[in-house]
Chains A and B, each alone.
Chain A
């Protein structure tokens, strides 16, 4: 039972990151690798602030803002300096590695017995079990509601159109540099938010905790698409979260079956490779996901 709830909690917390990856990868059609840096950035900012006595909610908020700035930086490299999406992300990710070390003043920050958003709620009398599942659940629910609303606003639709057909939305008078910058900043803000919660959940931040974030996020997005499908926006967002939970479940299962934790990244890479390569899944993805982008017209 605790195995399952623990997996669910992690799945939800990393689900926030997966929502961010969904936003850049699917909505904007932008393979943004900076998330490997912005997840630990969120963790680092949040952890060091808490370590120095800051309010955990404030620390989380500042972590989110830090992530947004990282996203703007990536967007700036791409839209203003005309660096390719892939390289822009790698540059930000690389730069963030040093930034994260500086922020933390070392390789890691321990948060044992520090005040986190989880302990704060326990202090006002909520049971530990309720808090550790409740916080991620409430956060994810609120974020899904907000994203679902945003993606159907005038501005959100312009962001979606930017990822779908940049030429078209430019011809409709939208500055696509702006929509890309906006999308990337929201995406990285979400990833940093996730990082901040991970740090508080596992009670430490580590500079290497971001390695493979993009692949884990991608695996979650793809698993969700295959399992839940791609109907309305709300359904897609829920699919991403469900995909993240499933992904963590698979990981937890193979770990109990004796796989070494150090082999996890290899396994994740395989999951994504299989998902991307399997023709039937691919077909399903094409029909569902990019509706018509490849379809005959």
Chain B
């Protein structure tokens, strides 16, 4: 479904800040797979998601979705089939607009925006139903400005917005990292419910090793711009966090170094 082939990306080439962020990354993801991504700080995880989403171009290599090369498409074009949730809960929603306005914007993801009213009465019920599934009481707060919601509520809303129109690919970049543990857990559970119900192909970066193994169907580990480990199936089921750390050390020649890493 997603094919990343020999992708290279260097930031600030030719300067003292030159940084090889992706060094020949190859990745094949089948439809319906939920891949969790872990790795040290600066390993290139976010950069990988960003080049897939089209935030910046690659220097070399190609990216295909359903066999079609997508590299020529700008970010907003790719958004018609890629849903995203960012680490910062403020990033995914428009604060000065209401819950229903944000959802209405998301319902038209990838479509041409017309000169017809942006909120339609008939969508109201649909939104309420979707919001009630989040279990955060947002279904009664459709007219509240999103800026007044908590970080967890905003992140749950962003998740809903990213999947309201089913994307071919969902990209989650540490989308629970900025939340308190309890709220983060709730959002991860919601993520699981939505992904499994809608069968959405997903790439999820996490710094939580337990999460990385517990959720999803496959786990990849990145280090210095490369994928150094890729486990799935029975092998993955039998892997503990300790095994994962050992595997990482063996593959990269050093200990996993992430200031936010959570072992449990």
Interface centre among B91, B95, B106, B151 (most CB of A within 10 A): B95
Assess whether B95 is in contact with A165, with CB atoms less than 8 Å apart.
yes
Task: Say yes or no: is A154 at the interface (Cβ < 8 Å to chain B).
Answer: yes
What distance in Å separates the Cβ of A111 from its nearest Cβ neighbour in chain B?
35
Does A106 count as interface, using CB distance less than 8 angstroms?
Answer: no
> Are B148 and A295 neighbours in the complex by a CB distance under 8 Å?
yes
Assuming A164-B94, A164-B97, A173-B80, is B118 touching A157 (CB within 8 A)? yes
Known: A173-B109, A291-B148, A292-B145. A297 touches B117 (CB 8 A): no
- Which of B83, B86, B146: most chain A Cβ within 10 A? B146
Asked if A173 and B147 sit within 8 Å, CB to CB, the answer is: no
Kindly identify which residue among B86, B97, B115 contacts A161, using a CB–CB cutoff of 8 Å.
B97
Task: Check B114–A155 contact: CB distance below 8 A.
Answer: yes
Within B72-109, the residues touching A (CB, 8 Å) are 74-77, 79-80, 83-84, 86, 89-97, 101, 104-106, 108-109
Instruction: Enumerate chain B residues within 8 angstroms of A154, measured Cβ to Cβ.
Output: 104, 108, 113-118
- B119 interface contact, C-beta 8 A: yes
Q: Is the CB of B148 within 8 A of A165?
A: no
Q: Return the CB mask of B220-250 against A: 1 if under 8 Å, else 0.
A: 0000000000000000000000000000000
Point out the residues of chain B lying under 8 angstroms from A6, CB to CB.
Answer: none
CB contacts (< 8 Å) of A102 on chain B: these are none
- Which residues on the A side are within 8 Å of B149 (C-beta)? 297
Tell me if A283 counts as interface (CB < 8 A to partner B).
no
- CB-CB < 8 A to B106: which residues of A? 172
Rounded to whole angstroms, the CA-CA distance of A74 and B208 in the bound complex is: 46
A291 cross-chain contacts in B, Cβ below 8 A: 95-96, 145, 147-148
* Cα of A295 to Cα of B93 in the assembled complex, Å: 14
Cα–Cα, bound, A174→B79 (Å): 8
Report if B110 contacts A (CB, 8 A): yes
Are B76's CB and A292's CB within 8 A? no
Chain A CB count within 10 A is highest, among B86, B91, B94, for B94
Instruction: List CB contacts (< 8 Å) of A156-202 with chain B.
Output: 156-158, 160-161, 164-165, 167-176
**CB of A129 within 8 A of chain B?**
no
Interface residue A284 (Cβ < 8 Å from any Cβ of B): no
Contact present for A157 and B115 (CB under 8 Å): no
CB neighbours (8 Å) of B97 from chain A are 157, 160-161, 164
A169–B115 touching, CB < 8 Å? no
Known interface pairs A152-B117, A292-B147, A297-B149. Does A173 touch B111 (Cβ–Cβ under 8 Å)? yes
Chain B residues within 8 Å of A289, by CB? 96
Bound-state CA distance A170–B162 (Å) is: 12
Task: Confirm or deny: B154 has a beta carbon within 8 angstroms of a beta carbon on chain A.
Answer: yes
Neighbouring B residues of A158 by C-beta, 8 Å: 105, 113
List residues 114-167 of chain B with CB under 8 A from any CB of chain A. 114-119, 145-151, 154, 161-162
Q: Which residues of A contact B118 (CB under 8 A)?
A: 152-157
What 0/1 readout, one digit per residue, does chain B (168-204) give for beta carbons within 8 Å of chain A?
Answer: 0000000000000000000000000000000000000
Residues B6-37 near A (CB distance < 8 A): none
Within 8 Å CB of A175, what residues of B?
A: 74, 76
Smallest CB separation, B113 vs chain A (Å): 4
**Contact assessment for B114 and A297 in the assembled complex, using a CB-CB cutoff below 8 Å:** no
Q: How far is the CA of A140 from the CA of B209 in the complex (A)?
A: 60
Find chain A residues with CB under 8 A from B111 CB: 173
Tell me the chain A residues, 274-297 only, with Cβ under 8 Å from chain B: 289-293, 295, 297
Say how far A145's CB is from chain B's closest CB, in angstroms.
Answer: 14
Query: Could you tell me if A161 and B94 are in contact, using CB atoms closer than 8 angstroms?
Result: yes
A150 within 8 A of B: yes
Contact across chains for A153 and B96 when beta carbons are under 8 A apart: no
Beta-carbon contact of B77 and A164 below 8 Å: no
- List A residues at the B interface (Cβ < 8 Å): 150, 152-158, 160-161, 164-165, 167-176, 289-293, 295, 297
Beyond known contacts A160-B94, A291-B96: 9 more, CB 8 A cutoff = A150-B115, A154-B114, A170-B76, A171-B75, A172-B108, A172-B161, A173-B77, A297-B89, A297-B95
Chain B residues engaging chain A, CB cutoff 8 angstroms = 53, 74-77, 79-80, 83-84, 86, 89-97, 101, 104-106, 108-111, 113-119, 145-151, 154, 161-162
Report 21 cross-chain contacts, Cβ distance below 8 Å, ordered by A residue. Answer: A152-B118, A153-B117, A154-B108, A156-B115, A157-B113, A160-B96, A160-B97, A164-B97, A165-B91, A165-B93, A165-B94, A169-B105, A171-B79, A171-B83, A171-B162, A172-B161, A290-B96, A292-B95, A292-B96, A293-B96, A295-B148
